[in-house]
A and B are shown apart, each in its own frame.
Chain A
Amino acid sequence: MSRYTSATDADRREMLDAIGVETIEDLFADIPAGVRLDRPLDIAAGLSEQDVYARMRRLASRNVSTEDEISFLGAGMYDHYVPALVDNLLSRSEFLTPYTPYQPEISQGSLQVMFEYQTAISEVTGLPVSNASVYEGPSAVAAAGYLARLHNKRGRFLVSRGLHPHALETLRTNAHGFGATVEELPLSDGVTDPDALAAAMGDDVAAVFLAQPNFLGAVEDLEALAPLARSTGALLIVAADPLTLGVLKPPGDFDVDICVGEGQTLGNRLDFGGPSFGFFAVQEHLVRKLPGRLVGETTDVDGRRGFVLTLQTREQHIRREKATSNICTAQALNALAGVIYLSWLGRHGITELAELMLQRTAYARAELAALEGVELLHEQPVVREFAVTLDASVDRVIERCAAEGVNPGYALGRDFDEHPDGLLVAITEQRSRADIDRLVSVLGAAVTAERTGVMA
């Protein structure tokens, strides 16, 4: 039941006659008998639109979303408010349905959006050049590693343990392919240990990877770490959380070579993890090794201002095996959400939002730390997320809280063997003081119950 086709039986007959064959079957004559499917696909018969909707709505209703509970989950993706403006503009078919802008004369909308997006990312990160998007945060980190490998042909990556664990693992997956090794730099009191970094540096280091803030929420001292990381000709790659850069010094101020990150927080919904976008910004000297699409300004034959995909000799469709990346389709629509959102926040709004998170996070951190059986995992400065340790089973505490309609955060033990008792708590602008107070009371009760052996 292919309701999205339009050929009538009469059309079919006319078309087959024009082609000069009897049946549709004849069109597939090239397919050898041995590789034909001699039965129908084992996929249930098609449904009406309303039945598909009902089935999908039922599935969706079995998920507990951030509208169904008070959620403090973060760990890389965050429940920020997405303005209605974003939904409205993204639903325009002119943005939603075109392909990559291969014909610039009829794609000025998408191309100018990318140019504006590149400008916005450049401003937020403090680096001069941004590409038009990569897939998402962790793969952006891996792509940065590949760039470093192309750039200095060295084979060692030093990676802070504060990098998002998914980014670390993605980097490992990729590095194994292109022949680089990954060594972890330990954290000390929640931040990257500068002595460990200094000791590990050498002129075989291709790149050093840091996160700002790191996975435990801590603000890294880039002022101290950057000169060490760049001391032997290695590239410094910082994975940054863009909204925190409303209050934190941008990576560009520390001369980092590449700043990448997860763009979900910029106007993109959670979507159970994607699609979002990854951003990728570099210093001028690396422009010709950038992965992916890049838009530049130019003029048309009448002298009118216009925008085109540019420096394409980096890309797979031109350079093939010598390309600086294989990326083709990226995340244009999600990057559009990003630049609409950043315009909506505006020059001062991004700082106001970051400062609001900072204040509420400080409040939540202090309130939680005051609970019996809860301690701070580190005391470093934080912006929107912080880590605590519980004197109780984290998983069981999470279950108890869930029963009360509160999702208290992310169990660090999922990724960090050294923190089996760790809980990562994120406070976006959507969590009010009342929400935080509720977290404090529910979590406090859950920890107490666990410690005193009360049955759940």
Chain B
Amino acid sequence: MSKTMNDNRLHGDPGIADTAGQDGRGLSLEMPKQRDRAVTIFEKSKAGRRAFVAPELDVDAQPLDDLIPARMRRTEPPRLPEISEPEINRHYKRLSTRNFDLDEGFYPLGSCTMKHNPKLHERIAALPGNARLHPAQAPERAQGALELMYELQVALGEVAGLPHVSLQPSAGSHGELAGVLLTRAYHEDRGDHRTKVLTPDTAHGTNPATVTMAGYEVVKVGTDPDGGVDLEDLRAKADDQVACLMLTNPSTLGLFDRNIEEIASIVHGVGATLYYDGANLNAVMGISRPGDMGFDIVHYNLHKTFTQPHGGGGPGAGPIAVSDRIEPYLPRPQVVQGDDGSFVLDYDRPKSIGRLRGFQGNYGVFVRSYAYILSLGGDGLREASETAVLNANYLLARLREAGVAEYLPVAYDRLCMHEFVLSGAPMKRELGLKTLDLAKRLLDFGFHPPTVYFPLLVDEALLVEPTETETKETLDAFADTIAEILREGEQDPEIARNAPYTTPVRRLDEAGAAKRPVLRQPL
């Protein structure tokens, strides 16, 4: 059974009465609740209120003028809110109820691996030895942290099949930047000045954006009818000016490239490096390793595969693993184990590309991901990937059923890996419903929609990634709901076109927001 709209905690819309409800289509709706009007914390400010009480001034106060010349001092305090602690608490608690989150329900956001975030991890990350450890603490007095980082490097290296790991990059795209800069350093060190980087047309936007930031020109490679890299096109474009091919495998179509060995040999044949965008690593842990596929550089998204909660847009971490020939260029510092078994930060890396950020990386994220690896072990990681692929194929099988497949055909008719792409093009043609409409209608049923309009290659794309932590019942409920929305669309497409109805706000004027940007609270 799919969730009804009334199960949705975010419900309560007067708007529903005058749209869907009125035309008597039998949608079972409770009396709508009044929605809160959005009021910012700045608008709740009242002169004289406060939360902060400063610790006592326990030294003799000196005149400010003696400490900092008046001309350097602020004359007006920043107009931060004046508000009491109970009111701050209530404000943000209420705001939180205007979010849908992973702990609330199914979140099949393709390419994002929204798997369960184990609660143990928060407890461990909050231990004072982690949370209150200063990043400049002497290594001798941070041995636990350095050992953790070292062990995480080893485990991640084993998963990727590449021996050298840097944990420093802060997210996937930061790992990509590190990887392309490493590629640059590798070629330059050999006196080889190349100008181009290849990215498939299925690539995530961060790939081409990274290439430009690293000073290369992007050259697009096509996709063959099977969903793999077009080998002819690749051969035509791979020349001695190509520094690197960035590839996601399984790709953003959820397909494992069967020609990966051939691709690697073409790329290496022209002296270029092969870069692995690890956003989709959740499909292949313990099954197939990027290093064994021929990749030179890999990034991981610890906030996808390795359970760091996504936080509504970060934090994450994007460690990289590399082959021997790339190792000399890794960022500084590296965590290494000395002869006496202790762990140190190694800065003495003359060929390093240098730092990508401050200190040692997002350690709090490493803590969570390492706890996850300890919990699952090698076999558990493999089982996670197997189950992720099983869940995706099962959901795909359910969505291939009559009543759905004619509107939402799978873009590439193969077994998928951990995710798959449907095209809403027939739905748009037959029912006049866009992928966006389907996504918005799903909100009324308590589901987070799949990734929409990505990859760009597929018309009206829906990229669906269920992950291994969901039950068969949840997958069934989602498939049933898609079918139900399509039935509803056959009868009256207006319902989905105007959805959602049950959310804290309904469709928002994004064009208007961009045309007349209001980017802060006017005060």
Flag the segment in A16-24, A193-201, A447-455 that touches B.
A16-24
Whether A41 lies near B159 (C-beta < 8 A) is yes
> 1/0 per residue A63-85: CB within 8 Å of B?
11111100101111101000101
User: Within the assembled complex, what's the spacing in Å between the Cα atoms of A98 and B99?
Assistant: 8
Instruction: Indicate whether B28 reaches chain A with its CB closer than 8 angstroms.
Output: no
User: Within the assembled complex, what's the spacing in Å between the Cα atoms of A132 and B314?
Assistant: 11
Residue among B62, B123, B361, B362 with max Cβ neighbours from chain A (10 Å):
B362
In the complex, what's the smallest C-beta–C-beta distance from B120 to chain A, in angstroms? Answer: 5
Whether A115 lies near B521 (C-beta < 8 A) is yes
User: Within the assembled complex, what's the spacing in Å between the Cα atoms of A2 and B161?
Assistant: 21
| Chain A, range 261-294, C-beta contacts under 8 Å to B | 262, 269-275, 277, 287, 293-294
Q: Taking CB as reference atom, which chain B residue is nearest A307?
A: B38
> 1/0 per residue A42-57: CB within 8 Å of B?
1111110100110111
Sample (24) of A-B pairs whose CB atoms are under 8 Å apart: A30-B417, A49-B375, A60-B144, A62-B129, A77-B134, A79-B134, A92-B96, A101-B313, A103-B100, A130-B520, A139-B174, A139-B358, A166-B355, A169-B332, A247-B73, A299-B509, A301-B509, A304-B505, A332-B314, A340-B92, A342-B80, A346-B81, A407-B137, A432-B58
In the complex, what's the smallest C-beta–C-beta distance from A194 to chain B, in angstroms? Answer: 15
Whether B96 lies near A2 (C-beta < 8 A) is no
Contacts of B202 in A (CB 8 A): none
Contacts of A59 in B (CB 8 A): 129, 144-145, 147-148
Whether B136 lies near A77 (C-beta < 8 A) is yes
> 1/0 per residue B116-156: CB within 8 Å of A?
11101011111111111111111001111101100000010
In the complex, what's the smallest C-beta–C-beta distance from A43 to chain B, in angstroms? Answer: 4
Contacts of A296 in B (CB 8 A): 513-514, 517-519
Classify chain A's interface size: 35 or more
In the complex, what's the smallest C-beta–C-beta distance from A261 to chain B, in angstroms? Answer: 11
Contacts of A221 in B (CB 8 A): 72
Whether B288 lies near A36 (C-beta < 8 A) is yes
Whether A118 lies near B379 (C-beta < 8 A) is no
> 1/0 per residue B469-496: CB within 8 Å of A?
1111000000000000000000000000
Instruction: Indicate whether A158 reaches chain B with its CB closer than 8 angstroms.
Output: no
Q: Is the interface of B mostly helix, strand, loop or mixed?
A: loop
Instruction: Indicate whether A160 reaches chain B with its CB closer than 8 angstroms.
Output: no
User: Within the assembled complex, what's the spacing in Å between the Cα atoms of A310 and B509?
Assistant: 10
Q: With A6-B471, A79-B134, A249-B72 given, is the CB distance from A135 to B170 under 8 Å?
A: yes
Q: With A298-B512, A332-B311 given, is the CB distance from A347 to B384 under 8 Å?
A: no
Instruction: Indicate whether A124 reaches chain B with its CB closer than 8 angstroms.
Output: yes
Whether A61 lies near B72 (C-beta < 8 A) is no
Contacts of A132 in B (CB 8 A): 313
In the complex, what's the smallest C-beta–C-beta distance from B336 to chain A, in angstroms? Answer: 17
Whether B180 lies near A109 (C-beta < 8 A) is no
Contacts of A418 in B (CB 8 A): none
Instruction: Indicate whether B4 reaches chain A with its CB closer than 8 angstroms.
Output: no
CB-contact partner of B359 in A7, A87, A166, under 8 A: A166
CB-contact partner of B59 in A2, A363, A429, under 8 A: A363
Whether B397 lies near A20 (C-beta < 8 A) is yes
Contacts of B214 in A (CB 8 A): 177-178
**Tally of A-B Cβ pairs under 8 angstroms:** 749
In the complex, what's the smallest C-beta–C-beta distance from B283 to chain A, in angstroms? Answer: 9
User: Within the assembled complex, what's the spacing in Å between the Cα atoms of A73 and B133?
Assistant: 11
Contacts of A293 in B (CB 8 A): 313
Flag the segment in B234-242, B256-264, B266-274, B423-431 that touches A.
B256-264
Whether A300 lies near B414 (C-beta < 8 A) is no
Q: Taking CB as reference atom, which chain B residue is nearest A29?
A: B415
Instruction: Indicate whether B459 reaches chain A with its CB closer than 8 angstroms.
Output: no
Q: Taking CB as reference atom, which chain A residue is nearest B219?
A: A321
Contacts of A26 in B (CB 8 A): 415
Residue among B71, B214, B394, B508 with max Cβ neighbours from chain A (10 Å):
B508
Flag the segment in B48-56, B319-327, B402-410 that touches A.
B48-56
| Chain B, range 49-99, C-beta contacts under 8 Å to A | 49-52, 54-55, 57-62, 64, 67-69, 71-75, 77-83, 85, 88-89, 92-93, 95-99
Q: With A30-B255, A327-B171 given, is the CB distance from A99 to B61 under 8 Å?
A: no
